[in-house]
Every structure is written in C-alpha cells, then in structure tokens.
Amino acid sequence: MTTIDSYNPADPDDLVVSVPAVGAAGVSAALAAARRAQREWWGLGAAGRSLALTRAAAAIEAAAEELVALTVREVGKPVGEARGEVARTVAIWRYYAQAPFAAAGEVHEPAAGQGLLLTRRRPYGVAGLITPWNFPLAIPSWKAAPALAVGNAVVLKPSSEGVACALRLAELAGLPEGVLTVVPGGAEEGTALIGGVDVVSFTGSTWVGRSVIAGATERGIPVQAEMGGLNAALVLPDADIAQAAAHLANAIAGFAGQKCTATGRVIAVGDAYEPLAEALAKALQQTPAADPAAASTACGPVINRQSLERLTEAIDSARAGGAAVLAGGARAERAGWFLEPTLVEGVPAGHPLLVEEFFGPVAVLLHAADLDEAVELANDTRHSLSTSVHSRSLDVALAAADRLDAGMIRINAPSSGVDFHLPFGGAKGASYGAREQGQAALDFYTASRTVSVLPAGEY
C-alpha cells in the first residue's frame, strides 16, 4: 500500500501526516458514493444547500486558529498569510452559501409564435477537483463551494503536500456523507478521478494540467485548468519607486514566491532601472527567509528539497552565464528548505529563469528602453497569468494594460492577489477553459438547457 507522507518544509523531520493513498479502487468507491449522495444533495433545494454551506463556513471559522497553525506547518506559509488564507476561505464559503438562490436561467420571447423560451441551468452530477498545495484551503474551497452550491457532489484530490489541510477542511465542512469526499493520492488517483467524473477543475503545474486537459477532453467532459505563471511587473519611469519596490518585494518573496501570481520578471523602463534595482535589492534583503511561524516573517521555506535544488541550480547557472546577483542567491543558514529572496540582472536570453516558472523567491531584472519594448518583453511567455504595472499615470497604465496578454492586470499593486468574487484565470498557456470564481464558477459547474413551452391546445 502506498502512503502519502506530508512533511513540514521548515523542519523536514516533522511528519505532519501519513495517510494511505486510496488507489484507483478507492477513487471508484468515492465516485459511487458521490453519485448516490448527489441526488439527495440537489434535492435539498436552494434553502437546504445554502444552510449547509453557511454551517460549513461557521465551522471553518470556529477552527480558524487550528487551520492557520496547520497551514504554517504543512506548507510553510508565513503565519500572517496563513491567517489571510483562512479568512478568505471562510469568506468564500459564505459567499457561495448565497449562490443557491441566484437565478438559474432566463426567460425569452420565442422567435415566432406564442409561448415561453427558458434557459435553465442544472448541475452536471459529480465534480472532480484536483488541487495544488500552495493554497491548501482556499483553492479546494473556491472550487468545491460553487460546485456544491449549484447541486453537484464533489470528489477532491488534493496535492500530497497539502493533504492534511484538505482532509481537515472537508471534515469541518461537515456535509452529508458522499457530498464532499477527499481522496488522498497522486497521479494514479488523479487519472482515475478524471476517468469517472462529469466535470473537472484542475489547478497546478502546466505539464500536469496539459495531461488533465487531454484526459478530460478525450472523455468529452467539461474541464478548466489554471496552471503556472511566469509573471512580469512593468515599472515606468514615473512610478513611485519606493512603493513599487515594496510591492515587488512582496510579489517576489511573499510565501517564498510560491504563488501562481508571483512576480518572476521585473521590467524597468528607461531611467527607472537604476533606482529600482537599488530599492528592490534593499527591500528583498529586508525580507529574509525565516521561520514561517514568526509574525514578522514574509518569506518562509520553499516546499521541498527538489524545489530548493532546482532554484539554486538555476541561480548558479545564470551566474555562470554572466548574470549578477543583486540580492540573495543562496540558501539561508537554517534547517529546512530556505532560499534567500533573490534578484538577478544580466541573465542571458533564453535562460530557464526567463522561460520557465520556478515557484520560488527569485526574480530577474530586465531593462526596456520604452513601454513598447516592455510590453513585448512582458508578453514573451506562454505563462501569462498576472502582470503588474507601476506608474503614476493612469492613462499610461491603462494603455499598457490593453496590450498585455495576462489574465490579471494589477496597476500599482503586487502581481499576486486575487478577489474571490471576480473571474480568475490566466492567458495563453496559463489557463484552459472557463474562468474560476465569482459567477463564472457557478456557470462552469452547471449545464444550460433551453426549454420551449408552448400553450396546450388552442390559444
């Protein structure tokens, strides 16, 4: 039997949880239970589902401090950010607790004759959710809560590295048996899930996402996938450099850069380069990698040894290719998988740091002669999720926003940061299918049917 062992990245000897992987057979059993439970769940009606989701939100909120501690311990999220994630998780469940009462369709005039034309939305049945470890409570919640609100049952396969958080979240939600089931496992369980559900929502790396999309489209079921980002920040010469540096340090080093919306490329335009390089290097040096349980920490560990090694190898190879390290560049002097927040300039064209997502506290500083070149550099990636623009001129910032490929554009704000009630997703290779969150999520988890109603007999 395979076990899933989840370790504390700040203290790799600390085994947070060890659970058996359910295997393909366990996924089949969860799917059968979900299918049985779904009819009754949908049959509860809007008020019944709303009440259940409201109670779930309250139970999660009552356990907030326990969940904060678990998130810090299991994924190394700094405690301030972990508190933010738990608060957001509660807000997500509360928000979707109102969704069962939203309009489930529209009424139209028929093109000809009398009668009614209705569109009605109804749940697909069983939703399969596959989630990463970096938002181990918020991402399972922003997928599960809308899917449940509109009447689906849910089977969730969380990342092995966030499995303790997912199991506790589902336990606290306290929904009827089979309505929300967590299946611990890896690729085998993920594949089995895609093979048996009616709709799939995935968040994770680009390469896994592509195989999830292929598996779902082969079965002809709806799928959405939110994948990796290599996000840019454009700093214009008229920007408030001190403010931009503070936002960028947050977007590069916050939670050790392990957000799909973290900044990996900083593009300074014209005269902004020198002052920004200096201010940003200083801001990163003032954000050292440290104990995630300490209130003053913004940058904790990266998730595991492989991630740390991949990051340090990339920094070393950039150095060997002529790049200069302006801040960080090495492991922190402590046990655990800590890398000091790093800024490099002069990275050779085509280097992996300019092409791949590294998911760590590392950014490359680039120079652009003008806005046109900056936009071209920013768009030179398939992983266009979130781009920030820093300028005192709203006209210039909005004009730049129109030309950027990203799914999220953040003006005078860090590239990281998401509002849970608006559509969320990337552009080009960073995203596939419908948007997540807000009304977009309710649409994604339901199928629209058109119903024509004609008068019976003479009219």
The least distance separating ligand NAD from the CB of residue 262, rounded to whole angstroms, comes to 8
Contact status: 357 vs ligand NAD (CB under 6 A): yes
Residue 346, phi-psi category: left (phi > 0), alpha (psi -120 to 50), beta (remainder): left
* CA separation, residue 424 to residues 143, 203, 212 (Å): 12, 12, 19
Q: What angle do CA 248, 254, 256 make, to 5 degrees?
A: 115
Contact status: 119 vs ligand NAD (CB under 6 A): no
Contact status: 200 vs ligand NAD (CB under 6 A): no
The least distance separating ligand NAD from the CB of residue 437, rounded to whole angstroms, comes to 10
| 3-state percent helix, strand, coil for the chain, nearest multiple of 5 | 45, 25, 35
CA 139 to chain centre: 6
Contact at 8 Å (CB) between 427 and 407?
yes
Decide whether 291 or 357 has the Cβ nearer to ligand NAD. 357
Taking CB under 6 A as the rule, which mask of x and - marks residues 257-296 in contact with ligand NAD?
A: ---x------------------------------------
Which of helix, strand or coil describes residue 295? coil
Contact status: 214 vs ligand NAD (CB under 6 A): no
Give 118's contacts (C-beta < 8 A, 6+ positions apart): 105, 106, 107, 108, 450, 451, 452, 453
Contact at 8 Å (CB) between 418 and 441?
no
Contact status: 297 vs ligand NAD (CB under 6 A): no
Q: Which of 212, 248, 347, 378 binds ligand NAD (CB under 6 A)?
A: 212
Using the rule CB under 6 A, give the single segment among 52-60, 83-91, 223-231, 445-453 that binds ligand NAD. 223-231
Contact at 8 Å (CB) between 388 and 414?
yes
Decide whether 195 or 275 has the Cβ nearer to ligand NAD. 195
Which of helix, strand or coil describes residue 459? coil
Cα separation of 107 and 109, whole Å?
7
Write out the catalytic residue numbers.
226, 260
Contact status: 10 vs ligand NAD (CB under 6 A): no
Q: What angle do CA 332, 338, 343 make, to 5 degrees?
A: 75
The least distance separating ligand NAD from the CB of residue 429, rounded to whole angstroms, comes to 11
Q: Which of 9, 78, 128, 132 binds ligand NAD (CB under 6 A)?
A: 132
Contact status: 314 vs ligand NAD (CB under 6 A): no
Which of helix, strand or coil describes residue 272? helix
Contact status: 76 vs ligand NAD (CB under 6 A): no
Contact status: 159 vs ligand NAD (CB under 6 A): yes
The least distance separating ligand NAD from the CB of residue 426, rounded to whole angstroms, comes to 6
Contact status: 133 vs ligand NAD (CB under 6 A): yes
Contact at 8 Å (CB) between 120 and 104?
yes
DSSP 141-158: HHHHHHHHHTT-EEEEE-
Using the rule CB under 6 A, give the single segment among 133-141, 176-184, 237-245, 440-448 that binds ligand NAD. 133-141
User: Which residues are registered as beta bridge partners of 87?
Assistant: none
Contact status: 205 vs ligand NAD (CB under 6 A): yes
The least distance separating ligand NAD from the CB of residue 448, rounded to whole angstroms, comes to 25
Number of residues this chain uses to bind ligand NAD (CB under 6 A): 29
Using the rule CB under 6 A, give the single segment among 76-84, 225-233, 245-253, 348-356 that binds ligand NAD. 225-233
Cα separation of 356 and 229, whole Å?
8
> Which residues in 383-422 contact ligand NAD (CB under 6 A)?
385
Cα separation of 169 and 56, whole Å?
9
The least distance separating ligand NAD from the CB of residue 89, rounded to whole angstroms, comes to 14
Decide whether 100 or 132 has the Cβ nearer to ligand NAD. 132
Cα separation of 38 and 45, whole Å?
12
Q: Which of 6, 50, 71, 131 binds ligand NAD (CB under 6 A)?
A: 131
Contact status: 134 vs ligand NAD (CB under 6 A): yes
Give 278's contacts (C-beta < 8 A, 6+ positions apart): none
Contact status: 208 vs ligand NAD (CB under 6 A): yes
Contact status: 157 vs ligand NAD (CB under 6 A): yes
Q: Rule CB under 6 A: which residues touch ligand NAD?
A: 130-135, 157-160, 186-187, 190-191, 203-205, 208, 211-212, 226-229, 260, 357, 359, 385, 426
